[in-house]
Amino acid sequence: MLKPTEKIWHNGKLIPWSQATLHVMSHVVNYGSSVFEGVRCYALPGGPAIFRAKEHAQRLLDSAKVYRIDVDFTVEDLVSGMVELVKTNRTSPCYLRPIILRGYGEVGVNPFNSPTEVYICNYEWGKYLGSEDDGVDVCVSSWNRLAPNTMPAMAKAGANYMNSQLIKMEAIMNGYVEGIALDVNGYVSEGSGENVFVVRHGTIYTAPLGNSVLPGITRESVITIAKDLSIPVIEQMIPREMLYIADEVFFSGTAAEITPIRSVDKISVNKGGVGPIAKALQKEFYGIVRGEMPDRHNWFTPVPVSSTQPVGVYSGTSRSSCEAIR
């Protein structure tokens, strides 16, 4: 269950959690007209810090631009709002949910007369898909990712996640933790809320953005770390069967972080468990986000918080109101 915090950032001001409400006839309720982000704030030895806040804020504004939503706030404004919120609520580690939506004003499909509302929430959040040491069982979904020129897959829009819900629910109902969707041409796209990486003969492969893939912030972080470790990374179309013969397969995402996949459609990935490349990437990634290694890429925005409230652990196999957000 989602545990409320004290304040929510709304259009530049902090308001009580209970006052962050919408009318049922708001445009977003009727048509899903929102764009959003999922951001992690980690508890480092020196204090709380938000992971890649600027990149998340920029992607949020990019998504809004695609959907012609005018926003009066800059990247710097949004990052400042995240910092202010975490500082005020004194909850870390935590998950942040910035969201831009079209509010109450227009009942038709035309959204231009509906006001733009900008919110940032934060709340406790733990592991999403499972332990980083175990790996998860997944299936290839019967639901495809969005076809090109239908809905923009590069925009992180609320409406897109109706497709994600179908993928996730189908996987859970069939006994899996997560599903992997193919694109309209049958090539590997992504999970319901995660990017997918495949390892074969020492090389990492991941689908390019043209395969209806969200440009994940953690995806880009994984590629950067792999280059630091001199592990070759190739962005190319991935046929479904490569999932079955891969040496390793793993997810990346803000919620999923780096989660190994031990089986696909009940076919073991190699011998199951975590492979050596995923382990090496995890060691670097978790070392950085836990403050055990230096932040060599300047990924963190520090938050001046004097005290914290501990986070609870989330079970990725339950049906949460908050899906995996990359």
| Whether 279 is catalytic | no
Catalytic residue among 13, 65, 127, 156: 156
Secondary structure, 3-state, the chain: CCCCCCEEEECCEEEEHHHCCCCCCCHHHHHCCEEECCEEEEEECCEEEEECHHHHHHHHHHHHHHCCCCCCCCHHHHHHHHHHHHHHHCCCCEEEEEEEEECCCCCCCCCCCCCEEEEEEEECCCCCCCCCCCCEEEEECCCCCCCCCCCCCCCCEHHHHHHHHHHHHHHHHCCCCEEEEECCCCEEEEECCCEEEEEECCEEEECCHHHCCCCCHHHHHHHHHHHHCCCCEEECCCECCHHHHCCEEEEEECCCEEEEEEEECCEECCCCCCCHHHHHHHHHHHHHHCCCCCCCCCCEEECCCCCCCCCCCCCCCCCCCCCCCC
Neighbour tally for 238: CB within 10 Å: 25
CA atoms of 159 and 5, how far apart (whole Å): 26
Could you list the active site residues?
Answer: 156
